[in-house]
Amino acid sequence: MSVALLSPRLIARESISFSEVPYTIMHFPVRVSLFLPIVSLAHAQTHPPAAPDSPVMLDHVVVTASPLARSQAELTSATHVLVGRELDLQQQPTLGETLSAQPGMSSSYFGPGASRPIIRGLGGDRIRVLQNGTGTQDASVTSPDHAVSVEPFLVKRIEVVRGPASLLYGSSAVGGVVNVIDHRIETDLPDRRISGVVDARHGSVSDEFAYGAAADIALVKADTHAWVLHLDGFKREADDVRTPAGRLVNSAIDSDGASIGLSYVGDTFNAGINYNGFNSLYGTVAEPDVEIDLRQRRVDFAAEVKQDFGIFTGARLKFATADYEHVELEAGAPGTTFTNTGYDGRLELLHAPLAGFTGVWGVQSVRSDFDIEGAEAFMSPSLTETNSLFIFEETKVNAFTWQFGARVEHQSIDTRANANFPGSQSRDDTTVSLSGGVVYAINPDYTAAFSVTGTERAPNAQELYSNGPHIGTASFEVGDPSLNTEKSIGVELSVRKLTGFVTGSFNLFANRFDGFIFEEDTGAIDPGDPFDPDDDLPIYQFVQRDALFYGAELETLWHLHQGDLHNFDLKLNLDYTRAQQCNGDDLPRIPPLKGLIGLAWTGGPWSAGVDWQLVADQNRAAPGETDTDGYTLLSAYAGYRIVKGPVVYDLFLRGTNLTNEEARMHTSFLKNIAPLPGRAVTVGVRASF
């Protein structure tokens, strides 16, 4: 949940200032602690604050959590939205690190080049990472050293659904959804012929320089329609990161990307297509001489009908196809190669009221042709196809809004024989997910939400058919073709304070798994090369155990002063997740208790803030796992805005981990060799027009 979510006084200012300017595409990759109070406040210098008694609403519209595009206050699920300045301040070179400081979230931190989001202790194939509502189609699920093929540099907003979202996005969303939304396909009529942004930043912790630009050009602009050309591009270069323990060897990054797209925007119909490319060369950190050379080319198409036809009030179509490849370079020589080609398409039909219910009927089809070639191929080539039908319905009765849904999903996996895996195998699974929930408007100040979700997840190809050395996790992975469907029941209760001196929310959640699939340390060793003891790897077996995840999240914003000239806020956050097998053993890499204390001030063109992120010890370790010490990260920020005609210049100075504390993430496979970045100073300038 963002500061804007907690403080709609700030949302009101944000919604008419910088967030309306086409998104910034240059962001700096130094780890940042939370700056949430600062973000929305920074927009206030060109717009007067709302009156002290104006309502504070949870009014970010979240398209990810509901196909009806409800506000955060109208959803049964806990959501979080990063947008505008808040997003800019959180930007890192990886998606996981961009989100890791948010409530209920962490990352699989594998150095600055690769990390995936973790939500409430769940990661990997249980978190669905989307780009504009369709899958990323990369190799990031298979290993934490594989980067997500989404560059946060080019992001307009990020929406997070915490808790089960498998109803809309499939069984791989049992832990939640992260939807990265860019500006490459236009859906709104432009208010000017040309708009865009130019950005440049430099950071001390990795001697990084980043720069780029984006532009939207209305080739045809009329009152009822427009043709919009979109162009963007970026470049990021960074050396090895400095940590309190010294330079993090082999953590340098060299990435770039660009896109071109054309959109038609009309009163009753939108359609657009975009072609984009992303390249990244980054060190694996796990090995001093191994780099990953990543390349993806992707085409996105989207269309929307915004008028009645038959019993329907509209329709949305999204389709993306991608060609992904990365090569693991060993001392500069090509080694193991990972490829993934496929598509993700979904059609949603919005229907008119039927028996008091409004809702959406949809179909989704996903295809992934995944292959690994080389000495470290730990699984056979596989083709995974998933086809689904889903329904989402909503009805309102007095102060109660009821939401229901169901999804039926069929997954087929076929493996192919090669030199490392002489046999072929196949498997088909059909799963069903159901959900129900209610939002109760207690009074104008408070709402409460409760939901229950039952999810079934079929095991993926890696869990079923792995059998080989996986150097990224320093293990020999062994799958189990007899794994059963993983089943879970999730419940969540949320109370939200919408107005007044203190605003925020409190969430309680629990998720009970029947047959939770994870990698268990067998205690055995694969000898590998008998003449090279460094080639020995511990054997990890994919197993199923009953498990329970539960926890709580508290987010509050205290409006200490809201005036015409100055604003001053205090933010207090806390989140906790506990996860264990039903036999009492703790599960591996579960994030510890985390908190935040933040202060933010704004006055005229100036803004400033300070944050303390506090992370507790994690001494509830899984068998074979070591404990992790807690840490505190101190960060500060100051900014100044200059308005010159149609151009807005934002200058900022930011310091992170100012005490240079050694911090290690318990959720990281590399926690013993890769601490988080040390003291850093970032300076930047952005011009928006």
As a whole number of angstroms, the distance between CA 17 and CA 1 comes to 20
Helix, strand, coil fractions of the chain, as percent rounded to 5: 10, 55, 35
Residue-level pLDDT at 2: 34
* Percentage of the residues of the chain whose pLDDT score is greater than 70: 90
Evaluate if residue 10 carries a pLDDT over 80: no
Rounded-to-integer distance, Cα 316 and Cα 208, Å: 40
**pLDDT of residue 9 exceeding 70:** no
pTM above 0.85, yes or no: yes
CA pair distance 142, 360, nearest whole angstrom = 32
Q: What is the pLDDT of residue 536?
A: 81
Amino acid 529: pLDDT: 60
**Residue 604: strand, helix, or coil:** coil
Choice between 210 and 54, residue whose per-residue pLDDT is larger? 210
Chain segment 417-456, per-residue pLDDT in tens: 988 888 899 999 999 999 999 999 999 899 999 999 999 9
How far apart CA 592 and CA 29 sit, in angstroms, is 24
Model confidence pLDDT, tens digit, residues 344-363 = 999 999 999 999 999 999 99
Q: Is the pLDDT of residue 504 over 80?
A: yes
- In terms of pLDDT, which residue wins out, 583 or 30? 583
Structure tokens at 150: 């989404």
- Cβ–Cβ < 8 Å for 41, 85: no
Report the SS3 class of residue 228: strand
Tokens of 357: 């219910």
Instruction: Centre a 10 Å sphere on the Cβ of residue 515 and count the other Cβ atoms it contains.
Output: 18
pLDDT per position as a tens digit, 178-232: 999 988 999 999 999 999 999 999 999 999 999 999 999 999 999 999 999 999 9
Residue 533: the pLDDT is 55
Mean pLDDT, residues 114-136: 94
State the CATH number of the domain containing residue 586.
2.40.170.20
* Residue 127 binned pLDDT confidence (cut-offs 50, 70, 90): very high
Q: 534 pLDDT band (50/70/90 cuts)?
A: low
Mapping DSSP to helix (H, G, I), strand (E, B) and coil, where does residue 609 land? Answer: strand
pLDDT on residue 165:
80
| pLDDT (0 to 100) of residue 15 | 31
When comparing pLDDT for 457 and 536, which is higher? 457
Average pLDDT over residues 527-532: 61
Point out which residues pair with 263 in neighbouring strands: 228, 272
Tokens 């792995």 sit on residue: 466
1 pLDDT above the threshold of 60: no
Residue 325: pLDDT over 70: yes
Confidence of residue 414 (pLDDT cuts 50, 70, 90): very high
- Structure confidence at residue 375 (pLDDT): 83
What does the mean pLDDT of the chain come to? 88
Confidence band, pLDDT 50/70/90 cuts, at residue 13: very low
**14 DSSP 8-state letter:** H
**Least confident interval from 91-95, 616-620, 631-635:** 91-95
What is the structure's pLDDT at 183?
A: 84
The total number of structural domains in the chain stands at 1
Per-residue confidence band for 537, with pLDDT thresholds at 50, 70 and 90:
confident
Confidence of residue 387 (pLDDT cuts 50, 70, 90): very high
**What pLDDT, on a 0 to 100 scale, did the predictor assign at position 153?**
77
220: domain range? 3-688
Label residue 16 by pLDDT band (50, 70, 90): very low
From CA 117, how far away is CA 95, in angstroms rounded?
7
Spell out the residues 6+ positions from residue 589 whose beta carbon is closer than 8 angstroms to its own.
Answer: 108, 118, 123, 622, 625, 666, 667, 668, 669
Of 473, 549, 544, 454, give the one whose Cα is nearest residue 121.
549
Torsion from C-alpha of 665, 667, 668, 672, nearest 10 degrees: 60
Least confident range from 361-370, 520-529, 629-638: namely 520-529
Q: What is the pLDDT of residues 651-677, one digit of tens each?
A: 999 999 999 999 999 999 999 999 999
Residue range 567-583: mean pLDDT, rounded: 95
* Strand pairing report for 537-562 and 475-478: parallel
The pLDDT value given to residue 58 = 60
Q: What is the pLDDT of residue 41?
A: 28
With contact defined as beta carbons under 8 Å apart, do 345 and 322 qualify? Answer: no
Question: What is the spatial distance between Cα 613 and Cα 37, in angstroms, rounded to a whole number?
Answer: 13
Q: How many CB atoms lie within 10 A of CB 681?
A: 14
Contacts of 222 (CB under 8 A, 6+ apart): none
pLDDT at 532: 56
Classify the phi-psi angles of 150: left when phi > 0, otherwise alpha if psi is within -120 to 50, otherwise beta: beta
12 three-state secondary structure: helix
pLDDT digits (tens, 9 = 90+) for 287-310: 899 999 999 999 999 999 999 999
Bigger pLDDT: 70 vs 614? 614
More confident residue, 58 or 71: 71
Better-scored residue on pLDDT, 357 or 167: 357
Q: Who contacts 560 (Cβ-Cβ below 8 Å, separation ≥6)? A: 568, 569, 570
Given pLDDT bands bounded at 50, 70 and 90, which one contains residue 3? very low
